[in-house]
Amino acid sequence: MKLTTSERQHGKPSVPVAVQRLRILQALMPPVRGLSMSSMAYNAFPDFKFRTPQGAALCISRTVRGMHDERLIRMADYGYSITDKGREYLAGEIKDSHAEGGKV
C-alpha cells in the first residue's frame, strides 16, 4: 500500500526551525564531547517519540545542515559541537528574549 505525502507526514514533529536551533545550541553549551544528529533531534523535539535514532537524525538533518553552513556548529570528534559564532548567536537570542519578556 502506497501512502500519500500527507499520510507519511502525519504525526511528525512540528517545531519552528528557530526554536529547534535554540534548543540544539542550548544542548551544546555545556562542555560535551559532541552530540550526534539523533541526540540533537531528541533535544530539538523533546516531546516526540522517534521510532529509531536514524529517523531522529533524518528529521533534524536539514536544520543541522543550515546551522553548519552558518558556522554555528562544527563537526567534532564525537558528533557536533558549538562554535564561538554559535555562542554569540545564542547569547543574542537569549538577550532579545529577555528584553521582550519571553522565555527561550
Average pLDDT over residues 62-80: 94
Quote the mean pLDDT of the chain.
Answer: 84
pLDDT at position 7, please? Answer: 47
**pTM of the entire structure?**
0.79
What CATH number should be reported for the domain whose range is 16-100?
1.10.10.10
For 28-60, what is each residue's pLDDT tens digit?
A: 998 878 899 999 999 999 988 888 999 999 999
Pick from 7-21, 26-40, 85-99 the range whose average pLDDT is largest. Answer: 26-40
Cα–Cα dist 20/15, whole Å: 7
Which residue reads 501512502 in cell numbers? 3
Cell (9 digits) for 39: 541526540
Q: Give the pLDDT band of residue 19 (cuts 50, 70, 90).
A: very high
Position 95 scores a pLDDT of 78
What does the domain layout of the chain look like in residue ranges?
16-100
DSSP β-ladder status, 73-76 and 79-82? antiparallel
In Å, how far from its chain's centre is CA 52?
17
Predicted local distance difference test score (pLDDT) of residue 73: 96
